[in-house]
Amino acid sequence: MAETAVAIPRTLEERLPYGETMIVEASWDTFLDLLEEGNYPVQYDEGQILSFMGYGTEDHEVLVGEIIRLLGNLLRSKNYRISGSNLAISLPGPGKQYFNADCAVLKRKSEYIPLRGEMKATTNPVILVEVLSKTTRNFDLGQKFQRYKTIPSLQQVLYIDSQSPSVISYRRKDQEGTWLIEEFTGLEGEVPVLEEGTFSLKALYEPLEL
């Protein structure tokens, strides 16, 4: 991903010439200004505004909808809450960080920190889900996962491939940083969700013509 040090685009029209990936050095206050005034998706990681604008394929969006449905069916009656990609996620530590996942699961009462005005970010997801795309795959599996691991409440991260039936699951084993990595492939696979049950890859990928 190329890094640039230019004026920050405020509109989608100004953002488009920078291509699929834009990384801009900026202060936290400048990022919050962009959240309030801008009209394209942005994240923030310790002094950098991150923007990914790859084409959102139909398969990607269908998978986001399907995983929200499947997790909702499995968890909603057990005092969990399932959210889509607009939920802001804040990470612990002295550095300022702001991320969005394709799906987030919270248990019981959500905990938030204020950002500015009415803007706030949750601090206690138990599951985060990313549907991998060409533009964000390396970032999601690399830098973003390293950040996610610092969230004390987080118990599982799911990565869903948008091109073939494949799910990678990271489940926390202890608070010292040990994670169990499991990969599930093929339509016969069953993916465990915490200790609450499983969902099948067949159910997840059934709407797609793979």
Question: DSSP string of 176-189?
Answer: TS-EEEEEEESTT-
2 assigned to some structural domain: no
Which H, E and C letters describe 67-104, residue by residue?
HHHHHHHHHHHHCEEEECCCCCEECCCCCCEEECCCEE
pLDDT score recorded for residue 56: 64
190 shares a domain with 130: yes
Do both 38 and 109 map to the same domain? no
Q: What's the whole-number mean pLDDT along residues 30-49?
A: 92
- Residues 48 and 136 grouped into a single domain: no
- Does 105 share its domain with 187? yes
Tell whether 126 and 45 lie within a shared domain. Answer: no
Query: pLDDT-based confidence at 84, cuts 50/70/90?
Result: very high
Pair 83, 138 in one domain: yes
Residue 3 lies in a domain: no
Residue 168 near residue 159 (C-beta atoms within 8 A): yes
Say whether both 159 and 69 belong to one domain: yes
Residues 47 and 62 in one domain: no
Residue 160 lies in a domain: yes
Torsion over CA: 131, 146, 109, 93 (sign): negative
Least confident range from 34-43, 50-59, 138-147, 187-196: namely: 50-59
For residue 154, pLDDT over 70 is answered with yes
Q: What does the alpha-carbon distance between residue 159 and residue 14 come to, in Å, rounded to a whole number? A: 31
Task: Calculate mean pLDDT across residues 133-151.
Answer: 91
Query: How far apart, in whole angstroms, are the C-alpha atoms of residue 74 and residue 165?
Result: 20
Residue matched to tokens 């039936």 = 165
Residues 74, 158 within the same domain: yes
Same domain, 116 and 34: no
Q: Percent of the chain having pLDDT more than 70? A: 95
pTM score, whole prediction: 0.91
Residue 2 pLDDT:
43
Is residue 24 within 8 Å of 48, Cβ to Cβ? yes
Which residues have C-beta within 8 Å of that of residue 42, sequence separation ≥ 6? 31, 34, 35, 49, 50, 51
**Cα–Cα dist 200/74, whole Å:** 12
pLDDT digits (tens, 9 = 90+) for 106-128: 998 889 999 998 999 999 999 99
Cα separation values, 188 from 21, 67, 90, 151, 199, Å: 35, 16, 35, 32, 10
Indicate if the pLDDT at residue 19 is higher than 90. no
Q: In the chain, how many domains are there? A: 2
Q: What band does 4 get if pLDDT is binned at 50, 70 and 90?
A: very low
3-state helix, strand, coil in the chain (%, to 5): 25, 35, 40
Question: For the residues 135-152, what does the mean pLDDT come to?
Answer: 91
Domain assignment present for residue 4? The answer is: no
Question: Could you give the 3-state DSSP secondary structure of residue 43?
Answer: strand
Tell whether 133 is covered by a domain.
yes
Residues 176, 90 share a domain:
yes
Mean pLDDT across the stretch 69-93?
Answer: 91
Query: Average per-residue pLDDT in the chain?
Result: 90
Contact yes or no for 64/114 (Cβ under 8 A): no
Does 6 reside within a domain? no
Domain hosting residue 92, numbered range: 58-205
The reply to whether 5 falls in a domain is no
Mean pLDDT, rounded, for 150-155: 94
The enclosing domain of 130 has a CATH number of 3.90.1570.10
104 within a domain of the structure (yes/no): yes
Residue bearing tokens 């990384």: 23
Q: pLDDT-based confidence at 55, cuts 50/70/90?
A: low
Q: Are residues 93 and 128 in the same domain?
A: yes
